[in-house]
């Protein structure tokens, strides 16, 4: 099945130039920012995609504006045997790995790691400033290995909604995706009772990028 995803940032922007003239079986459209993946039509699109489908997107920035999210999406699509085609960049990513695709993913992963390093540096600066002002509340919740295994089972095997699971487990949607990546890397068979800190977790994830 050929599925299209269209996104504009506001209701006033035109959508007819995205994927114009392309034969599609279904189209999902969001009129919201692409800063994160918490978009109703995007989540519906992810749920609708099945093995063998192709996701058509006008350009990478229509799918997401975050390189971290892009890498997660592409890896998830490859795991599900879904092909993703970006028309503006003339790029195709599929579950059939090739040197060209691996190179692009490695480049995306490297740039995403640089982006995360900048974010972590800003976070450290923000924490230091918050501590000086007496407003620092500590780190966010971490899941135990049992909770990670349960999250992975419900998300990957039972196909439950990621956003709903994230709210249930008391974590953000992005953190939930990172835990799922961690679970994939470790095959749901870790021995430690508690995850390493987030910096160490991210380094573990991108050893496999």
Residue 26 has pLDDT above 60, yes or no: yes
Of 38, 29, 7, the closest CA to residue 174 belongs to 38
Q: What is the pLDDT of residue 12?
A: 60
User: Predicted confidence band at 33 (pLDDT cuts at 50, 70, 90)?
Assistant: confident
CATH code, residues 2-93: 3.40.50.1390
Q: Check pLDDT > 50 for residue 201.
A: no
Strands of the chain, DSSP E: 2-8, 26-31, 54-57, 83-86, 91-93
- Domain spans of the chain, in order of start: 2-93, 141-209
Q: What is the mean pLDDT of the chain?
A: 78
Instruction: Give the model confidence (pLDDT) of 40-81 as tens digits.
Output: 999 999 999 999 999 999 988 888 888 778 888 888 898 899
Between these two residues, 114 and 197, which has the higher pLDDT value?
114
Residue bearing the bigger pLDDT, 190 or 48: 48
Residue 141's pLDDT band (boundaries 50, 70, 90)? low
Tell me the C-alpha distance between 66 and 5, whole Å: 16
Q: In the chain, what percentage of residues exceed pLDDT 90?
A: 20
* Res. 191: pLDDT tops 80: no
Reply yes or no on whether 9 is catalytic.
Answer: yes
Among candidate residues 9, 10, 98, 139, the one labeled active-site is 9
């Amino acid at each position: 099945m050929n599925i299209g995803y269209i996104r504009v940032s506001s209701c006033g922007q035109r959508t007819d130039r995205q994927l114009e003239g392309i034969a599609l079986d279904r189209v999902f459209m969001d009129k919201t920012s692409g800063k994160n993946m918490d978009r109703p039509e995007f989540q519906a699109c992810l749920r609708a995609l099945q093995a063998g489908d192709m996701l058509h997107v006008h350009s990478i920035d229509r799918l997401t504006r975050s390189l971290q999210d892009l890498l997660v999406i592409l890896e998830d699509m490859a795991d599900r045997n879904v092909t993703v085609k970006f028309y503006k960049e003339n790029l195709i990513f599929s579950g059939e790995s090739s040197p060209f695709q691996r190179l692009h993913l490695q480049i995306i992963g490297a740039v995403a790691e640089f982006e995360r390093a900048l974010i972590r540096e800003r976070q450290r600066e923000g924490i230091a400033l918050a501590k000086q002002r007496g407003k620092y509340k500590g780190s966010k919740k971490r899941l135990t290995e049992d909770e990670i295994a349960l999250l992975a089972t419900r998300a990957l095997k039972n196909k439950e909604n990621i956003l709903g699971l994230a709210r249930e487990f008391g974590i953000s949607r992005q953190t939930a995706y990172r835990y799922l990546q961690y679970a994939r890397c470790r095959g749901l068979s870790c021995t430690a009772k508690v995850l390493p800190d987030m910096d160490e977790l991210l380094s573990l994830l991108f050893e496999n990028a």
